[in-house]
Amino acid sequence: MNTRYLIQRLLLTVVVLLGVTFAVFLIIHLVPGDPARVILGVQANEENVAALRERLGLNRPFLVQYGSWLWHALQGDLGRSLITGQAVLPQILQRLPATLQLAAAALFIGMLIGLPAGIVSALRPGSRLDVITSLFSQVGVSIPDFWLGILLVILFSLTLGWLPPSGYTPISVDFGDWLAHLVLPALTAGVISGSIQTRFVRSAMLEVLNEDYIRTARAKGLGERVVILRHGLRNALITIVTILGLQLTALFSAVVVVEVVFAWPGLGRLALDAVLDRDYPLLQGTVLTMAVVLALVNLAVDLIYFFLDPRIEYA
């Protein structure tokens, strides 16, 4: 492992996280509305509202509030919910596993669809199979995730009665029930992810298969399977890993909608509830958690680049 490369990527990740926390903190404070008024209600008098603003530190300068929040966040204290008064971090840790389970299942379904479909389509460009996969990819990219989710609920829950339409059961309580509740939301996000992966994998494989070393491998008499798997797929892996990293990042955004449609108690629903309640500490905590997860995903992708091609250097 190139130590310099690793250190530079870690420093860049820290800078990105600081930038994200500052941007989120600024945007939230620019949103119209007074948290103290939200907590006390519209009937509260101005004295009580002013006292609560003073107690919450909302009268302090913006940079002082941000610095205080960041200092406590670095110590694992993300504050308390303005609505429930509960600590933010335990609420996030309680919801995070459900979101990770959903995102991982959706990415797995997307890979099951996108990788073989993209490779097969690239091997036979212009064929009937290529047209079908291209059509599937185009339709999948065009369908809104909430609309696909509703269609799946109507078909598999309301019409066929095979799967529950919504809800969540922890995997530690009942694995079968957890899996039954996971299928439809994971399928909703996974099909759309798979259709996007199909397009990118096909493009990456087509580019690699036209390289001179592929022609040389075939000229040497190597079998087609060896040429595709050892020379073609291996050299397309950097592009494919990039796509998977971007897809996992996009899935964290998509699952917010999917969690609402299927009443999935994940981080996305928690963030949405925080927005609707103007619960600023809870919203900042959820956004920071998502940013940390996505930064770690991007860091992992960059490290995988290095393992796939040690010639890569940080620019």
What are the structural domains, with CATH classification, of the chain?
A: 3-88 (no CATH), 93-308 (1.10.3720.10)
Instruction: List the Cα angle 177/172/157 in 5-degree steps.
Output: 15
Task: For the beta carbon of residue 227, count every other beta carbon within 10 angstroms.
Answer: 19
Q: What is the DSSP string of 180-225?
A: HHHHHHHHHHHHHHHHHHHHHHHHHHHHHHTSHHHHHHHHTT--HH
Burial letters for 261-281: b for 16+ Cβ neighbours within 10 Å, e otherwise? bbebbbbbbbbbbbeebbbbb
Instruction: For residue 35, give the H/E element and its range.
Output: helix 35-40
Residue 80's beta-bridge partner residues?
87
CA distance 246 to 165: 29
Note the Cα 129 to chain centre separation in Å: 30
Query: What's the pLDDT score for residue 200?
Result: 83
Task: For the beta carbon of residue 93, count every other beta carbon within 10 angstroms.
Answer: 12
pTM for this model (two decimals): 0.78
Q: Tally the C-alpha atoms within 13 A of residue 148's C-alpha that lie toward its C-beta.
A: 21
Q: How many residues does the chain have?
A: 315
pLDDT, tens digit only, all 315 positions of the chain? 567 777 777 888 888 888 888 888 888 777 766 767 766 666 777 777 777 777 777 778 888 888 888 888 888 888 888 778 888 999 999 988 898 899 889 889 988 988 888 888 888 888 888 888 888 888 877 888 888 888 999 999 889 989 998 888 888 888 989 999 999 999 998 888 888 888 888 888 888 877 777 778 777 777 777 777 777 777 777 777 777 777 777 777 777 788 888 888 888 888 888 887 778 788 888 888 888 888 888 888 777 776 766 665 555
Q: DSSP character for 87?
A: B
What amino acid is encoded at 123 in this protein?
L
